[in-house]
Amino acid sequence: MIDAIVFAITIVLPNLALMWLGFFMQRRGEASKTFIDQASSFVFNYCLPCLLFFSVVDSDVDYAKQITLIIAGILVTFLLFVGAEIYAKYFVSKPADQGVFVQGVFRSNMAIIGLATVANAYGERGLSIGAVYMGVVTILFNILAVITLSRVSKSVDDTWSSRSIMIVKKLLTNPLILALVSAFVYKALPLPPITGVIHTTGDLLAAVALPLALICAGASIDMKSMLHPSGLSMQASIGRIVIAPIVAIAIGLAFGLSSVHMGVLFLMVASPTAAASYVMAKAMGGNDILAANILAFTTVVGMFGMAIGAATLRGLGMM
């Protein structure tokens, strides 16, 4: 059991340390909102795409064998989405809160905290598998987020047709999805390995991705929001921190997942609420204050939940 606890601390503590550094920089005035916005944009548009592209291109992982993991991830996402929608229908009165609540429950921070934790746990192999999982489930996240948040729109121009167009535009212009599709196409074609200056440059950008993203996540934490959560944000946080990991473990066991695959599923699903959830809530007229509260609380507390879950699964030989 000691080995399991050490394993959990090893995969979570580096992420917490970098987030704490970001929070420390924010408190000292060294990480302004402008810096956080620009650095986050740099990571999302350039560094993470390089990380995902080269993780897939350089990997010897048989991606056809990841189908079971991906199906399990899709099922977990749908179960969390439907469950949160049913709960919101009966226990969340305001339409502006309902979509934000639902998104806070089902949408996890796979691209930053999920990938970083998987990389800490399983190295390059886990990172490659996690990248593929993330690419597929991210598409589903975007579609479900638009569906649940669209209930608050009062615009005459906002129809299902316009929403569908918006979803397609988001998917076709998402740098992470474009990077993964490009990597799969490159591996499928009889092309020579990427070497030299291109690969070295890509490696340098990829190396920046997760550390800088975690620093920005830490610098974005609002202690006031985190320490004074509303009743609704606490309910959503429980759904994300407690219910989501339990559902992931149950589905993983039902699909016979073990070792790396169970670990990737658990760590990706157990990650805190995605930072993009706040951006989408604000853009689509949802309760952005509620979204910020959920994001802040789950970002810090969720990391400890991941550590406890990882230690338990490791101790049982399931991860």
Please report which confidence band the pLDDT of residue 204 belongs to, taking 50, 70 and 90 as the band edges: very high
105 near 236, Cβ under 8 Å?
Answer: yes
Q: Which residues contact 60 (CB under 8 A, 6 or more apart)?
A: none
Percentage of residues of the chain with pLDDT beyond 90: 25
Whole-model pTM: value is 0.82
Total domains in the chain come to: 1
Poorest-pLDDT segment among 20-29, 182-191, 260-269: 182-191
Average pLDDT on 204-230 reads 79
State phi, psi for 186 to the nearest 5 degrees: -65, -40
In this model, does residue 230 exceed pLDDT 80?
no
Pick the more confident residue, 154 or 23: 23
- Give the pLDDT confidence of 243-267 residue by residue, as tens digits: 999 999 999 999 999 889 999 999 9
Average pLDDT on 1-8 reads 76
In this model, does residue 154 exceed pLDDT 60?
no
In this model, does residue 56 exceed pLDDT 70?
yes
Please report which confidence band the pLDDT of residue 152 belongs to, taking 50, 70 and 90 as the band edges: low
Residue 114 CA to residue 145 CA, distance in Å, equals 19
| CATH number, domain with residue 291 | 1.20.1530.20
- The whole-number pLDDT of residue 1 equals 67
For 238, the 3-state DSSP assignment is: helix
Residue 61 CA to residue 111 CA, distance in Å, equals 19
Average pLDDT on 186-211 reads 88
Return the structure tokens found at 129.
């598998």
Of 217, 231, 238, the C-alpha closest to 296 is 217
In this model, does residue 283 exceed pLDDT 70?
no
Please report which confidence band the pLDDT of residue 290 belongs to, taking 50, 70 and 90 as the band edges: confident
In this model, does residue 278 exceed pLDDT 50?
yes
Mean pLDDT across the chain: 85
Percentage of residues of the chain with pLDDT beyond 70: 92
52 near 203, Cβ under 8 Å?
Answer: no
First to last CA, the chain: 13
- The whole-number pLDDT of residue 156 equals 46
Q: Which residue has the tokens 């996890």?
A: 108
Give how far Cα 259 sits from Cα of 252, 268, 311, 317, Å.
11, 14, 13, 8
254 near 315, Cβ under 8 Å?
Answer: no
- Give the pLDDT confidence of 67-126 residue by residue, as tens digits: 999 999 999 999 999 999 999 999 988 888 898 999 999 999 888 888 889 988 998 888
- The whole-number pLDDT of residue 79 equals 97
Please report which confidence band the pLDDT of residue 12 belongs to, taking 50, 70 and 90 as the band edges: confident
Residue 310 CA to residue 237 CA, distance in Å, equals 19
273 bridge partner residues: 108
137 bridge partner residues: none
Average pLDDT on 185-192 reads 85
Average pLDDT on 219-229 reads 70
In this model, does residue 8 exceed pLDDT 60?
yes
Question: Residue 227's CB: how many other CB atoms inside 10 A?
Answer: 10
Alpha-helical (H) ranges within the chain are 2-27, 33-42, 48-57, 67-91, 95-106, 115-149, 160-172, 175-188, 196-219, 223-227, 231-238, 244-254, 259-270, 276-283, 288-315
Poorest-pLDDT segment among 27-36, 150-159, 303-312: 150-159
Q: What is the DSSP string of 13-77?
A: HHHHHHHHHHHHHHHTTSS-HHHHHHHHHHIIIIIHHHHHHHHHHT----GGGGHHHHHHHHHHH
In this model, does residue 274 exceed pLDDT 60?
yes
Q: Kindly report each contact of residues 3-6 with a partner whose C-beta sits within 8 Å and lies 24 or more positions away, as own/partner.
A: 3/314, 4/310, 4/311, 4/312, 4/314, 4/315, 5/311, 5/315
- Domain membership of residue 217 as a residue range: 2-315
